[in-house]
A and B are shown apart, each in its own frame.
Chain A
């Protein structure tokens, strides 16, 4: 390593230590501040009042979480009602098939994880998809850039109902590019997309959101040249929360496109509540060190062996689900599926799971 490289490494370490020091100091100051505030509150309020304040605060947080979930349903139902102009009739989605076979035998649709906020994927995901595309058979087309967490074909910043919020947040992020603002924006985007995953797995709302998303995917497939009844098949590949969306839309997509649909998930977090028995196949690629995907099994009771009659467990018992484990792979970061270390093993597993 040359002199400049060593200096840069030393500088980065120093920066990291300084950051940790500042964080520790900030935390200490906060604790002192909170302590003073508590003393002041204690002086002003009795312990019973404080307890009441804490209880009311907790209640407010609970109500706010529920309110955010309810608010995020608005755009799905406005779209369903036809207020947003653009809910297509399934019959009008595809042009009549010309004689002969479709240009592609298989359409591989990629559904991104909960970090997605626009059509373009982050660089790591783009590199992963480029590698996948490079190794796909000639008769398979990769359909990428699908906004998985909005029902309209728009980015989060243009989503009806919440655009006002996202535009302000992203403007704030642009004007004040501090790490805290970046972190806040990332957390809020992920929280919003987690709510969409929750809506997709909810028995009440899931059918409508999943149907709308299936229509959106069908539109994209039609743009890519897909025609029903021409012998083409569809494969939905979902990462993390994208796996839940894939499970949700699969049966609707099968009925709209009148084509066999299969799912290949990697590091997937999904409920398994949906109708899965008529799918062509399900493959789940999991990392042996992936705590998030493992958490999914606890978060969604339908995947627990205690409920053998759930859709997931029935499909599992019927042998329709194949599990591939990649040793040492985590959910994200330097040991995640998009990292240099695991990009190729995941791509290889996806290629091996494509329908023959």
Chain B
């Protein structure tokens, strides 16, 4: 009986994953693009080529998971408080498409203009998600904005923390070189 129930859950999960396959694939691409945008932080830490490659892939997966987590938060909030029903796989698939501008996140590595590019991409992503939820699930604008913002804030914080840590380590290394007698 338990086994049958477990099989049924797995079937549902499989069906859900097939339905959201494009979105999930895109999440990894977004993660990879974001990870590449801070590849110089890894160089600044004087890692070897193999370490850099491993860290790039690991960061890409962590970032993809962070976006999946932020999507899940949106999903839970929409499920609990939205005035209209929202199907999870539709949401993940659609939200990943909204993250399409983040495929260009690698351009944030560009010096001086990088931060502006990053800011524009983050704003675009949030606008896309809010608009998508408003149009696809017929939620009012204020409700879309309110329910989609917590997940977005979480994603911003995770990305900022991950990259800040990388750069801080490299600055510490630079300071140690200058501290030599």
Contact = CB atoms under 8 A, between A and B. Distances in A.
Interface of B: 40-41, 43-44, 46, 104, 106-107, 109-114, 117, 167, 170-171, 174, 177-178, 180-181
Interface string A127-144: 000000000000000000
A268 B109 CA distance: 26
Nearest to B38: A204
A66 B114 CA distance: 8
Give chain A's interface secondary structure class.
helix
Given A207-B174, A211-B174, A202 B114 contact: yes
A296 to B, nearest CB: 13
Nearest to A210: B174
Given A90-B177, A90-B180, A207-B171, A66 B40 contact: no
Q: Which of B41, B46, B104, B113 has the most CB of A within 10 A?
A: B113
A81 B43 contact: yes
Q: Which of B46, B107, B181 has the most CB of A within 10 A?
A: B107
Given A77-B43, A81-B46, A207-B171, A66 B180 contact: no
B113 A69 contact: yes
Nearest to B37: A70
B159 to A, nearest CB: 14
Given A89-B180, A205-B111, A252-B178, 6 more contacts: A67-B110, A69-B109, A69-B112, A73-B40, A204-B114, A211-B178
7 contacts: A66-B117, A69-B113, A77-B44, A195-B111, A198-B113, A204-B41, A207-B171
Nearest to B47: A81
A18 interface: no
B43 A80 contact: yes
A66 B110 contact: yes
Contacts of B171: 207
B40 A205 contact: yes
Contacts of A73: 40, 109, 111
Nearest to A62: B107
A205 B174 CA distance: 12
